[in-house]
A and B are shown apart, each in its own frame.
Chain A
Amino acid sequence: MTLASSTPAVRARQGMRAGLASRLSSAAIDVIVWIFLMIGLVILVAGIRALFTGTFELEVYSEETRGPVATLVLLAYLAYGWGLNGRTVGMVLMGLRAVGRDGSDLSPWRGFWRAALYLIFLPGILWVLVSRKNASIQDLLLRTAVVYDWGHTSGGHVRPPPG
């Protein structure tokens, strides 16, 4: 444990709902990861094609193809992260976790619908600024929350603070 995580102020905020800056930071990291995933996907497809044609050639997809594929990749990435352990790569780095309103883990379906709602209406995250519970519109619809979780608790499971 390092100095920052050992301070009482930081420890006291573990399990509390996170604000907009932390959540946007993790979203920005997720966008970078998403871009790398897309690049990796293009390389993978080119490699598979090279097995049959013998020539490795990266193909630039058309707008009609690129949009849906990118949306699907992002949906799969977010749903996988939230539905499996409540964290995407960005949330891992920023020390956040998506949980139920009572601190429980999200089910895969709940994670999927959360991802879908964010793709449908991304500006809903800005409601965190206004909400007294730091909740986005998606959080309010799906009864979820994003909390600080730096991994201090065993297994990374968030326990609600007493009181």
Chain B
Amino acid sequence: MGGVAEARNSRQGVAAVSARMVADAVDAALLDLAEALHTERPDAAAPAPAGPERQEPPPRAVPGTPAAGAAARTLTGAGTRAVAEAAAAIAAAIVPAVVERIDVNALIGRVDVEAVVARVPVDEIVARIDLNRVLATVDVDELVGRVDIAAVAREALEGIDIGEIVQESTAGIATDTMEAVRVQAMNADDLLARIVDRLLGRRGPRHVALERRAP
């Protein structure tokens, strides 16, 4: 409720200030107009002062003469300035109040940013960029010098268990090698047995199975 009352008071204050400024501007314009008319049309009914105190009336501007045109321009210029000053004063008072009352976040929320971005030809813009020229301006040595490579390497190594990797790979290699040796030994066993059996004139395979345990 306090906000509403405050806004109402603010609006009333702005209106009062605006009205006062407009009135001042119009008043100033009327004064200028009166002075201009007075200069253009001196009072003809007034008797001419006699004697030595008589002054020379200002030259009368006759319509169609240069003097009348200058008077008209003076009048028009004064009015225009007054109105412009009044408008500027009104704008200076109103615009901040209006801006304060605008919820910019809500306004932005109503904007379809995706649609706006979709209208931007990003590919064309990127295609027009000469990356080589951009990169030529980059001092890579200085850039690399600013990087704490030791810290980066340390952080990377902390995330990798090199010991486990080495252990697994070494164990795998050792196991494969050992099994290959075992297989070769098996084949050599068979080969030697076949040779001896042939020399001895044996037929049929050897009895290499264990005897079953009596139940």
- CB <8 Å contact, B179 and A2: yes
Residues 1-38 of A, flagged 1 when their CB comes within 8 A of B and 0 if not, give 01111000010010111111110010000000000000
Docked pose: A145 CA to B213 CA in angstroms? 14
Contact for B210 among A93, A129, A132, A147, CB less than 8 A:
A147
**In the assembled complex, which residues on chain B have CB atoms less than 8 Å from the CB atom of A161?**
209-210
- Tell yes or no: B176 within 8 A of A by CB: yes
**Among A10, A132, A145: residue with most chain B CB under 10 A:** A132
- CB <8 Å contact, A17 and B200: no
Docked pose: A93 CA to B175 CA in angstroms? 10
Docked pose: A25 CA to B208 CA in angstroms? 19
- Tell yes or no: B119 within 8 A of A by CB: no
Contact for A93 among B178, B191, B206, B211, CB less than 8 A:
B178
Residues 46-81 of A, flagged 1 when their CB comes within 8 A of B and 0 if not, give 000000000000000000000000000000000000
- CB <8 Å contact, A101 and B196: no
In this complex, what residue of A is CB-closest to B180? A4
**In the assembled complex, which residues on chain B have CB atoms less than 8 Å from the CB atom of A124?**
none
In this complex, what residue of B is CB-closest to A5? B179
- CB <8 Å contact, A25 and B185: yes
- CB <8 Å contact, A13 and B210: no
Could you tell me which residues of chain B, from 162 to 210, have a CB within 8 Å of some CB in chain A? 172, 175-176, 178-183, 185-186, 188-193, 196, 200, 202, 206-210
Contact for B209 among A18, A19, A22, A160, CB less than 8 A:
A160
**In the assembled complex, which residues on chain A have CB atoms less than 8 Å from the CB atom of B192?**
19-21, 129
With contacts A2-B179, A93-B178, A134-B193 known, is A22 near B210, CB below 8 A? no
- Tell yes or no: A94 within 8 A of B by CB: yes
Docked pose: A102 CA to B215 CA in angstroms? 11
- Tell yes or no: A85 within 8 A of B by CB: no
- Tell yes or no: A112 within 8 A of B by CB: no
- CB <8 Å contact, B189 and A20: yes
- CB <8 Å contact, B179 and A19: no
Size bracket of the A interface: 35 or more
- CB <8 Å contact, A148 and B207: no
- Tell yes or no: B212 within 8 A of A by CB: yes
Docked pose: A132 CA to B212 CA in angstroms? 17
Secondary structure of the B side of the interface? helix
- Tell yes or no: A130 within 8 A of B by CB: yes
Could you tell me which residues of chain B, from 69 to 84, have a CB within 8 Å of some CB in chain A? none
Contact for A4 among B182, B188, B190, B213, CB less than 8 A:
B182
Docked pose: A72 CA to B70 CA in angstroms? 139
Docked pose: A93 CA to B179 CA in angstroms? 9
Smallest distance from the beta carbon of A158 to chain B beta carbons, Å?
Answer: 8
In this complex, what residue of B is CB-closest to A145? B210
With contacts A2-B179, A101-B210, A103-B210 known, is A129 near B189, CB below 8 A? no
With contacts A15-B210, A19-B192, A145-B210 known, is A132 near B202, CB below 8 A? yes
- CB <8 Å contact, A130 and B185: no
- CB <8 Å contact, A102 and B193: no
With contacts A94-B181, A132-B202 known, is A19 near B193, CB below 8 A? yes
- Please report B residues at the A interface, Cβ cutoff 8 Å: 172, 175-176, 178-183, 185-186, 188-193, 196, 200, 202, 206-214
**13 pairs, CB–CB < 8 Å, chain A vs chain B:** A2-B172, A13-B186, A16-B209, A17-B209, A19-B189, A21-B188, A99-B210, A101-B211, A102-B210, A102-B212, A145-B210, A160-B213, A161-B210
- Please report A residues at the B interface, Cβ cutoff 8 Å: 2-5, 10, 13, 15-22, 25, 93-95, 99, 101-104, 129-130, 132-134, 145, 147-148, 150, 158, 160-161, 163
